[in-house]
Amino acid sequence: MCRLNPGYKALTIFLISLILSFEYNYYINFTIFILAIILMLLSKVKLKKILISFLSVVIMALGVFFTGYFYGNGEIGNSVNDISKIVVTIENRESGLQLAARILAYAGLGFLFVYTTNPRHFILSLMQQFKLSDKFAYGIMAAYNFIPIVRSEYKNITYAYRARGVKRNIFMLPMLVTAIRASENIAMAMESKGFQVGSSRSQYIKLKVDKIDYLLLILMPFLTLYIVIIF
């Protein structure tokens, strides 16, 4: 999965997700979820990382399942023991499983793409194969590179407040100043390198589209559609 073209991989996963949005068969959704985990393990993603990532997703899926299980159709009937007891039917269970399985399937596909894709290569693929404008592409890359800068600055400010014994921490103003300075430095660096929107540029990293990318783009969505129609 890591060797696939990021842009075509994203398009393949998007088409599969689009097909799944029209299907309520929880067997298919659970299968997609399990296959996503298997592919992540084959791509050498650490099991601990996968478990931590899916912890909140599983909790959300369980919450949605029990909500659909007890309140799927909203029917309330009479019972010998308790007149206000909620009647749990097979339809409620099916409704809960459908909603929970859909959450797991979409989360599995999303994490599969995130953990097997280099963000920089994904942006480059959008530029080279899908003709994304340089202005938007480099803007996205600059915003992505701001994340570690902001994280590091947050730690530095926290340590500075602790060293000075300041209990009231004010983070927004110094972090805003740091972000403005970093953006100015990036803009000056791009201008000094001769960056111009719309001009022809050479690429240090050239991403190729192999036959396997075309094959998966055609085969996987059609296979998913075939399974959805059959079941």
Tens digits of residue pLDDT in 53-88: 999 999 999 998 888 777 765 444 444 444 344 445
Does the CA dihedral 90-95-96-100 come out positive or negative? positive
> In the predicted model, what is the mean pLDDT of the chain?
82
**Residue range of the domain that includes 187:** 134-192
Is residue 225 packed enough to be buried (19+ CB in 10 Å), middle (13-18) or exposed (0-12)?
Answer: middle
Residue 1 lies in a domain: no
- The DSSP element (H or E) to which 143 belongs, if any, is helix 134-164
Residue 200 lies in a domain: no
Residue 76, helix vs strand vs coil: strand
Residue 201 lies in a domain: no
On whether both 121 and 214 belong to a single domain, the answer is yes
On whether both 92 and 170 belong to a single domain, the answer is no
Provide the whole-model pTM: 0.78
On whether both 65 and 120 belong to a single domain, the answer is yes
On whether both 10 and 67 belong to a single domain, the answer is yes
Tens digits of residue pLDDT in 25-59: 888 999 999 999 999 999 999 999 999 999 999 99
On whether both 93 and 41 belong to a single domain, the answer is yes
Model confidence band, residue 171 (pLDDT cutoffs 50, 70, 90): confident
On whether both 118 and 144 belong to a single domain, the answer is no
Residue 217 lies in a domain: yes
On whether both 87 and 62 belong to a single domain, the answer is yes
Cβ count within 10 A of residue 54: 18
On whether both 67 and 164 belong to a single domain, the answer is no
Residue with tokens 């894709």: 117
Q: Considering only residues 84 and 204, tell me which one the structure prediction assigns the higher pLDDT.
A: 204
Residue 18 lies in a domain: yes
Q: What is the spatial distance between Cα 225 and Cα 137, in angstroms, rounded to a whole number? A: 32
Contact 223, 15 (CB under 8 A): no
Instruction: Tell me what pLDDT residue 78 has.
Output: 43
Instruction: Tell me what pLDDT residue 73 has.
Output: 55
On whether both 147 and 119 belong to a single domain, the answer is no
Number of structural domains in the chain = 2
Share of the chain above pLDDT 70, in %: 88
Instruction: Tell me what pLDDT residue 13 has.
Output: 94
On whether both 31 and 95 belong to a single domain, the answer is yes
On whether both 55 and 155 belong to a single domain, the answer is no
Residue 197 lies in a domain: no
Instruction: Tell me what pLDDT residue 53 has.
Output: 92
Model confidence band, residue 169 (pLDDT cutoffs 50, 70, 90): low
Residue 59 lies in a domain: yes
On whether both 53 and 107 belong to a single domain, the answer is yes
Q: What is the spatial distance between Cα 174 and Cα 153, in angstroms, rounded to a whole number? A: 9
Residue 171 lies in a domain: yes
